[in-house]
Amino acid sequence: KKHGVKATFFLVGNYFKTQPELVKRMAEEGHTIGNHTYSHPDMSKIGDIQSFQTELQKNEALYREILGSEMPKLYRPPQGKFSVENLKQAQELGYTTVFWSLVYSTVFWSLAYVDWYTDDQPTPEQAFSKLLPRIHPGAVVLLHSTSSTNAEILDELLTKWEETGYSFGDLEAYCAAQ
């Protein structure tokens, strides 16, 4: 909030079910909520459009139930696993897939590190050593909200990026402009 950053949170079904108040807060504070599938499967193994669509539509229904509006059409494949068929399926459903290049209405993230193991978190020093030198113009940074390290370093990380001349954009607006 202090830095005026609007995040995009890609949520799974369980998060919508267990944290509806936090989902509301995310939206009220101007953040975007994207679709990370209902049950977090390996989507590269899902070949038929109906099963693929069901994973996304269950989250869309939970979003509508909580927020009373339609979910933004941003999708991030669980575990970063996808197939070319998945990219086509997401596009057919009106989604932009957020991952690593502009193919099939796709925006890929460009910077991530292993921050998702809640019982094996990197130290702040390890996080900074991964995140600071790899930032670049136009970077889409993937940070997991379950990371206590990210929560601890976020203010300092954003400050350091700002001090080197970076500013922060809105992923949903960026995708819409592509």
Tell me the per-residue pLDDT of 74-91, one tens digit each, with 9 for 90 and over.
Answer: 998 988 888 888 889 999
Q: What are the tokens at 87?
A: 């990219």
What are 164's two structure tokens?
Answer: 């080197």
Q: How many CA atoms lie within 13 A of 10 on its CB side?
A: 25
| Cβ(51)–Cβ(38) below 8 Å | no
CB 118, CB 146: distance < 8 Å: yes
For residue 109 the two structure tokens come to 């993230």
pLDDT at 140: 78
State the Cα–Cα distance between residues 27 and 47, nearest whole angstrom: 32
pLDDT at 142: 82
Higher pLDDT, 175 or 122: 122
Q: Determine the number of helices (DSSP H) and then strands (DSSP E) in the chain.
A: 7, 5
| pLDDT tens-digit readout, 107-164 | 456 778 889 899 999 999 999 999 999 888 877 788 888 899 999 999 999 999 999 9
The answer to whether 107 and 99 have CB atoms below 8 angstroms apart is: yes
pLDDT in tens, 32-83: 999 999 999 999 999 899 999 999 999 999 999 999 999 999 998 988 888 8
Structure tokens that stand for 92 in this block = 């057919």
Q: 170 falls in which pLDDT band (50, 70, 90)?
A: confident
